[in-house]
Structure 1
Amino acid sequence: MGKLFYNLGVSLYIQIVRLVSGFNTKAEKFIEGRKELLFNLSEKFKGNSRPVVWFHCASLGEFEQARPVLERFKTEYPNHFVLLTFFSPSGYEVRKNYAQADYICYLPIDTAENAQKFVSITKPTIAFFVKYEFWHHYINQLTLNQIPVISFSAIFRKSQVFFKPYGNFYRQILHKFMHIFVQDEASEKLLKSIGVNNITIGGDTRFDRVKAIVDARKDIEIAARFKNGLPILVIGSSWPPDIELIANFYNNSTKKLKLIIAPHEIEESKVQRVINAFPNKSIVRFSQAENKQLEDFDILIIDNIGMLSSLYYYGEYAYIGGAFGTGLHNTLEAATYGVPVFFGPKYAKFREAIELVNLGGAFSVNTNEEFEKVFKHLFNDETQRKEKGTICSEYVMSNTGGTEKVIDFCKTLIK
């Protein structure tokens, strides 16, 4: 019965996506990206003699968890063919040209026929599924072919179907994994409660990715000139509610403080909306900053993509957007630089945000008054600011090493 409902659910999902694809760009890419997919795979893998390692990610966030493991695997086993698949266009469209993978494509819809053809064509010698990816037919087909299946950076909650009385079908999916690397002890306990014991607490491999980003940080001359010795609040991946909160504070502030703002969306209308929120401040866009006297400006707006992780280096404080409704963005990139981190109220699904708040390095704020109270306290007490920042950087460093655990396990399988 569980399998029947699963297949119906997958079928219904696809029908809905097809219905909305005519007026939804993401849905259209979801459908178009899967046309002729198996044929193209067959052409690509025809005559391939290299052992194949398969990494599957739902979207871009999971890719950031997969990336340190994938790149470390490629270093250890350079003769392997790296296959990278995505479920969502938001992952595939951004990373379809990622140089470290030999072939990148969408994952065909999880049907018994697709799974059988996919595994038959690609012939993976080992498969990695990242965080939440538990596709019945693919896992079953890999198991039938005695191909090791490993999940890493996985995290579980009691509310998930695996732990419900009616969740036996889904529990069987978990039992087919050779090994599951979970993020925390709570996940380990939940899995053991349903008889899944092939577990290691491996943490979240994003910590390793963040450390690598910081180690490879690039100097940004425009940001350095803009700073000119003054403290900076870096606002990363901001949405309108985040800008409204910051603007209410900053427009009435007389403190010697500068802002670097990286909007989540950089279309002209979205950038202009940010500019309009600060009518009495001097603002410069990054794209127009090259020959300007940057020390004279209050706000630097980042109207490009790709440099946010390096920009946090120039700040004394960081505000991370998305926690007023769309989903909190990456707090670790800022935390690793040793700065206090602020964000909105909706962060309950983000383990690192919860832990940073509990440790005292991050602050969730719901109103302008809440933000102003905490920010002013840290701004006026340099010792406290540094202590809170140190909490953040030490938290990141103490959670690195998950990648090595996964690779060490691989070494027991690949001789």
Structure 2
Amino acid sequence: MKYFWSIVYNFLFLPLFWLAAKLFSLFNNKLKTGFKARKDLFKYLNTKILTLDPAKKNVMIHCASLGEFEQAKPIIDELDKTDKYNFIISFFSPSGFNHSKIDTPLRSKIIKTYLPYDSPPAVNKFIDVTNPAAVIFIKYDLWMNLLKELKSRGIFTMVVNSAYDIRRFKWKFPVSLSYKRSIYDYVDVIGVTDEEDKLHFRKLLRGTEREIEVFGDTKYERISKAKEVSSDKALINGEVLTDKNVFVVGSSWDKDDDVIFPVIDKISSNGLSEELSLVTILAPHEPTEDTLEQIEYDIHDKYPHIKSIRYSELNKYSGENLIIIDCIGILMGLYKYAHVAFVGGGYQTGMHNVLEPAGYGIPVMFGDEKLSEDAEHLIKNGGGIAVEDSKELFKSLVNLLRKKDYRFEIGKKSLSVFDSKNEASKKIAEIINNRI
């Protein structure tokens, strides 16, 4: 089946993918940016590669976007301890390439690049220039021609944080499973998060010699590290939140706001206002000026008891009950102020990272329509609460704020998801050190 899927991939999927991406780039700035950057990719790479230490081996880590890069950081930190490698971080998405930052000092040299269009000539040239001794893929974004060429050259490959998501159609449908079997059969080591996923992958790859290992998930380590880094950073003046119950809403979309704002307005409009002393910190998923202005317009038009102020203007704070975050990169640190958190995306596009607030040992709420695997894990452990609408959110939020012991109990269960999950990067680094 490998030969069949190679034909389908190169003569049907890739041309259609390229044409569709080119068409949508006329209307989508991210796609347009990606095409523009790849136009001069090798000119850029030939310059950047000269900054690496020629005496060290190159380890490439591929991340689809910014979220996967955050999961790669513990691996980079662990491998950096050996002082044996250069790091080449490749991205598919412009958001990952443009916003990725290393926030800990490294001894090793590191560069970042876009992954080229997955045609055989581009892939061959890319591997020639980057000369990786090993390639680590974070979670997914596996490209057939790249994997095929790496395999033919005997370059070690590993995919980590792999999850076999049986809830999704593509992990059930026989045709897509056949394709996935072909793709994963090019990978030397598949690192999964738990024993259940290992069994699923073992069944998928039955009859092959693929090595499947349970590493855990590096995102748990990343969150623990981010907590340490942000613990001493004062993002909000203490006087603003003194004697207040703090409700942090992370990465919200308009459908989340439609559920949340009526609750804030209701709490602020009756006797509960004085009892609960609620301040909400709202971090929109995309805090563009258009988004911020629309939020402010909706509040002014529909919710008379909500008074808002932007984060950048907090020096003018005068008792507002809603702080709107108008910058990026601080959400993780804001959760440390929260008594309760709500994570956006559950009613619309798919959920943001529910583990970030869970890492602070607080109850985590979210919409009930598009639950992530982590959200389901939180619910199962008793630390997550899915809400259908404003009525359910109001009831749950008031209950959590009124009953401190109950809130602490839910928070402990939320934190428990981190148990025994902080060793993944060490296991991954050990394999890399032994194989190259």
Could you state the TM-score of these two structures normalised by the residue count of structure 2? Answer: 0.88
Q: Residues 36, 97 of structure 1: CA spacing in aligned structure 2 closer, same or farther, 3 A cutoff?
A: farther
Unpaired stretches in structure 2, ≥5 consecutive residues: none
Match of 1:231 in 2: 245
SS in 1 for 2:347: coil
Q: For 1:222-268, what per-residue CA distance to the aligned partner results, in whole angstroms no more than 9, with x for missing partners?
A: 34221112111111111111112111111111232111111122223
Contact 2:348 2:370 in 1 (8 A): no
Match of 1:271 in 2: 292
Unpaired stretches in structure 1, ≥5 consecutive residues: none
- 1:70 equivalent to 2:80? Answer no
- Kindly state the Cα deviation for residue 185 of structure 1 after the two structures are TM-superposed: 2.6
The farther-off stretch of 320-329 and 213-222 is 213-222
The farther-off stretch of 44-53 and 335-344 is 44-53
- 1:203 equivalent to 2:203? Answer no
Contact 2:264 2:306 in 1 (8 A): no
Among 264, 282, 291, which residue is 2:307 paired with? Answer: 282
Match of 1:10 in 2: 14
Q: Residues 166, 107 of structure 1: CA spacing in aligned structure 2 closer, same or farther, 3 A cutoff?
A: closer
Q: How far, CA to CA, are the matches of 2:304 and 2:286 in structure 1?
A: 20
Q: How far, CA to CA, are the matches of 2:427 and 2:396 in structure 1?
A: 38
Could you state the TM-score of these two structures normalised by the residue count of structure 1? Answer: 0.92
- 1:23 equivalent to 2:27? Answer yes
Q: How does 1:170-319 map to 2 (within 5 A)?
A: 170-193=180-203, 194-195=205-206, 197-217=210-230, 218-220=232-234, 222-253=236-267, 254=272, 255-275=276-296, 276-277=298-299, 278-290=303-315, 292=316, 296-319=319-342
Q: How far, CA to CA, are the matches of 2:237 and 2:124 in structure 1?
A: 52
Among 58, 82, 87, which residue is 1:82 paired with? Answer: 87
- 1:120 equivalent to 2:128? Answer yes
In the alignment of these two chains, the number of paired residues is 410
Report the residue type matching 2:369 in the other structure: K
SS in 1 for 2:38: coil
SS in 2 for 1:303: coil
Contact 2:263 2:390 in 1 (8 A): yes
Q: How far, CA to CA, are the matches of 1:166 and 1:131 in structure 2?
A: 17
- Kindly state the Cα deviation for residue 83 of structure 1 after the two structures are TM-superposed: 0.5
Q: How far, CA to CA, are the matches of 1:279 and 1:265 in structure 2?
A: 24
SS in 2 for 1:234: strand
- Kindly state the Cα deviation for residue 146 of structure 1 after the two structures are TM-superposed: 1.3
Q: How far, CA to CA, are the matches of 2:188 and 2:152 in structure 1?
A: 12
Match of 2:115 in 1: 107
* Seq. identity, %: 29
- Kindly state the Cα deviation for residue 191 of structure 1 after the two structures are TM-superposed: 1.3
Match of 1:357 in 2: 379
Q: How far, CA to CA, are the matches of 1:337 and 1:161 in structure 2?
A: 32
SS in 2 for 1:212: helix
Q: How does 1:329-408 map to 2 (within 5 A)?
A: 329-348=352-371, 350-408=372-430
Q: Residues 113, 269 of structure 1: CA spacing in aligned structure 2 closer, same or farther, 3 A cutoff?
A: closer
Report the residue type matching 1:357 in the other structure: I
Contact 2:245 2:401 in 1 (8 A): no
Q: How far, CA to CA, are the matches of 1:385 and 1:172 in structure 2?
A: 47
SS in 2 for 1:343: strand
SS in 1 for 2:365: strand
Among 149, 160, 167, which residue is 1:141 paired with? Answer: 149
SS in 1 for 2:266: coil
Contact 2:241 2:279 in 1 (8 A): yes
Q: Residues 166, 238 of structure 1: CA spacing in aligned structure 2 closer, same or farther, 3 A cutoff?
A: closer
The farther-off stretch of 327-336 and 261-270 is 261-270
Q: How far, CA to CA, are the matches of 1:221 and 1:172 in structure 2?
A: 48
Q: What is the root-mean-square deviation of aligned Cα atoms in Å?
A: 2.2
Q: How far, CA to CA, are the matches of 2:290 and 2:178 in structure 1?
A: 49
Q: How far, CA to CA, are the matches of 1:23 and 1:70 in structure 2?
A: 35
Q: How far, CA to CA, are the matches of 1:198 and 1:52 in structure 2?
A: 23
Q: How far, CA to CA, are the matches of 2:187 and 2:243 in structure 1?
A: 53
SS in 1 for 2:348: coil
The farther-off stretch of 144-153 and 94-103 is 94-103
Q: How does 1:148-159 map to 2 (within 5 A)?
A: 148-158=156-166, 159=169
Contact 2:170 2:176 in 1 (8 A): no
The farther-off stretch of 141-150 and 41-50 is 41-50
Q: How far, CA to CA, are the matches of 2:239 and 2:66 in structure 1?
A: 32
Q: Residues 113, 224 of structure 1: CA spacing in aligned structure 2 closer, same or farther, 3 A cutoff?
A: same
